[in-house]
Amino acid sequence: MSDEGTKWVKEKDGIYWPTEKMKEKAFVSDPEIYKEAKENPKKFWEQKAKELIDWFVEDWDEIQKWDPPFFKWFEGGKTNLSYNCVDRHIEDKKNKPAIVWEPEPVDEEQRILTYGDLHEEVQKFANVLKELGVEKGDAVTFWMPMIPETAIAALACQRIGAWHSIVYTAFSPEAVRKRMDDAGSDILITADGFYRRGKVVELKDNINEALDKVGADKCLVVNRADADPEMVDGRDHFLEDVKDGVEASCEPEELDAEDIGFLLYTSGTTGKPKGVKHSVGGYLVQAALTMKWVFDFHEDDMFFSTADIGWITGHTYTLYGPLIHGGTTLWYEGSPDHPNLERWWEIIEENEVNQFYTAPTALRMLIKHGKDLPDKYDLSTLRVLGSVGEPIDPETWQWYFEKVGGGRCPIVDTYWQTETGGILLTSLPGMGPFVPGVAGVPLPPVNYDILDKDGEPVDKGAVVIKKPFSPGMLRGVYKNPDKYKEEYWSRYGDRIYFSGDEGIKTEYEVGGQRLLKIVGRMDDLLEVAGHRLGTAEIEDAVQMVDEVAEVAVVGKPHDVKGEVPALFTILVDGAEPSEELKKKIVKSVRQEVGPVATPGEIFFVEECPETESGKVIRRFLRSLLEDEELGDMRTAKNPDCLRDLAEKVGYEGPQDIPDYNC
Ligand code: PRX
């Protein structure tokens, strides 16, 4: 293995190994841990649960109960996330910054919340929720930007055992309404607005109609941008008004490890987003362990995750992970390109950030428009860099490693999902190896495999997770156990979790396992700029336009965003393609799903390739967009349409498309 002081050294074939310095500092550096943990996985997790978390009752019926495909961890144990993130640090870290908030406007002062401040604010907010009638087990929907009150509100829900259901602000009011409806949530927490690219994005005034439709009882509004929103008497309250006068003390609920901690809606393979259920105890243990080991997170570290709270990464690593360990998390309100493309580098230098966690799409954007800008800043406090949400291509990896990490920092390419609650798979900082474009191996003691469609192990195929699992895995889909079984536990039976991703077992090894490269989704999900979207949701929105008869949505490769939604649209008789119609379609998608799903390309076509039973063969559409071989076109009942489609999309692939009409 190579070692040159603090610089990482590349071995043959572009593999990087940790330096001695990193190995010494890291919490784990001996690959034996993978084997040891597997010898007694339940013991391993029990030990971590006791070591990393504070429990009110540290005693459980069984460490794990497994009734495939349902499982429980640490049931009978009592704990609370808010207690673990706040109260337990109060004694010795009262004046230490817990959250450092960087507003987008550069002339606005940074806000720092110490653990003492957080303790006070979270208790007050919890009492506000109680006054508004929120009880344990109620779903509280958030449509909140990256401001400190969002963190406070989430911790307040945890404190009283209410479930937050946080919706990303780039989803539309209609998307919020659907999620409130599904969760049976009658309270929304939002803000008047927030700053993005120098402008105020209004929230409250945009959500009024959706609140009426869903029949919400209460709406709590944080004043962030002085946007002076319309307020409905009796239903809408400014936080400032209701907070005034509430008691400052609220004891955390002693929740069972198996109580629900929160819901998070995510796209599935059918139209309706699924409410993924996470537990209190298991989630907490997994968040704690992965935060510590994957990011080599020590309690004096300053962690900067750019992930918005509306996504699982925002939950586990922008919010909970750093606080569980009594560290400091940096929250940034706005966009990386405001007021210029140096904003993140400036934030890292000014705040002496130690770990930086972001998505490849953002890095590609920064490379494209400002690849040398990190050189202007002192980024030497950084120790670990993270990547998440989509595969990181080797060029982007190399730039991140050299320009941002100065050749000193490992890049943890963390593979996981909303459903897994925390990181599942990566190379660890003290162990490596790090191979650009290759994610790594599961955290001990989790098992993965790659299977073909018959369930046989192969080198390239479906990524599955096998026993022993981690305690942070989802506990189900809210109000829909069938969906849970069907989506994850049916392809290979009820003992093997199907991730929906395709992967490759590479030749590299650590701890007796081969490192995994993630190829991408095998189902109808898109990863647009690292954001997960269902094609079915977008199709439903397009279908609402009167002129549209049918539509098929697939991902089109994009050099910055990874992929963008491309629409193959068939119009009803008499409707004509036009720019106006394209605008109408875009409007409908933005309204029903949100700006995050804005179509990248709209093709008006006569027909799509279909199977005998009338199902659109998306594989052909994707190959046309990616200029790839299409394979045997006669598997479609109407192969003749492919020629027309090839012309429309400007196909330049290797395969000749015959004219089946002749
Ligand atoms: O396709 C995989 C991709 O993101 C999907 C999960 O999306 P979501 O639930 O929104 O969670 C994203 C953040 C954890 C996965 O099924 N994905 C996530 N991380 C990676 C990735 N693809 C490749 N490499 C990764 N590191």
Q: What is the pLDDT of residues 362-376, one digit of tens each?
A: 999 999 999 999 999
Give, as one character, the DSSP assignment of residue 457: B
What size, in residues, is the chain? 662
Distance 586 CA to ligand 1 centre (A): 26
Q: Which atom of ligand 1 is nearest to the CA of 518?
A: 23
Q: For 256-298, where are the alpha helices, taking DSSP H only? A: 281-294
Which residue's CA lies nearest to atom 11 of ligand 1?
417
Query: Within 6 Å (CB) of ligand 1, which residues are found?
Result: 266, 311-313, 388-391, 413-418, 439, 499-501, 518, 521, 527, 532
Q: 303: which strand partners?
A: 329, 355
Distance 416 CA to ligand 1 centre (A): 5
Q: Are 515 and 439 in contact (CB under 8 A)?
A: yes
Q: What is the pLDDT of residue 92?
A: 96
Q: What is the pLDDT of residue 530?
A: 87
Using one digit for the tens of pLDDT, what is the confidence trace for 606-638?
999 998 888 889 999 999 999 999 988 888 999
Q: What is the pLDDT of residue 2?
A: 41
Closest CA to 528 of 563, 476, 490: 563
d(Cα 236, Cα 229) in Å, to the nearest integer?
10
CA distances from 255 to 83, 331, 391 (A): 11, 28, 37
Q: What is the pLDDT of residue 562?
A: 93
Using one digit for the tens of pLDDT, what is the confidence trace for 44-77?
999 999 999 999 999 999 999 999 999 999 999 9
Furthest C-alpha separation in the chain: 82
Q: Are 515 and 249 in contact (CB under 8 A)?
A: no
Q: What is the pLDDT of residue 195?
A: 98
Q: For 515-608, where are the alpha helices, taking DSSP H only? A: 535-543, 579-592
Q: Report residue 3's pLDDT band, with 50, 70 and 90 as the boundaries.
A: very low
Mean pLDDT over each residue of the chain, to the nearest integer: 94
Which residue's CA lies nearest to atom 8 of ligand 1?
417
Q: What is the pLDDT of residue 306?
A: 98
Q: Which of 414, 499, 527, 533 to mutate to test the pocket of ligand 1 (most atoms within 8 A of CB)?
A: 527
Q: Which of 269, 412, 416 to mutate to test the pocket of ligand 1 (most atoms within 8 A of CB)?
A: 416
Q: Which SS3 state, helix, strand or coil, does residue 33 take?
A: helix
Using one digit for the tens of pLDDT, what is the confidence trace for 258-304?
999 999 999 887 768 899 999 999 999 999 999 999 999 999 999 99
d(Cα 595, Cα 662) in Å, to the nearest integer?
43
Residue predicted with more confidence, 386 or 8: 386
Which residue's CA lies nearest to atom 25 of ligand 1?
415
Distance 527 CA to ligand 1 centre (A): 8
CA dihedral over 36, 24, 420, 560, signed as positive or negative: negative
Q: Which SS3 state, helix, strand or coil, does residue 321 take?
A: helix
Residue 387: alpha-carbon gap to chain centroid:
11
Q: Are 277 and 475 in contact (CB under 8 A)?
A: yes
Percent of the chain with pLDDT over 90: 90
Give, as one character, the DSSP assignment of residue 471: T
Q: For 132-280, where are the alpha helices, taking DSSP H only? A: 148-160, 173-183, 204-214, 239-243
| Identity of the residue numbered 121 | E
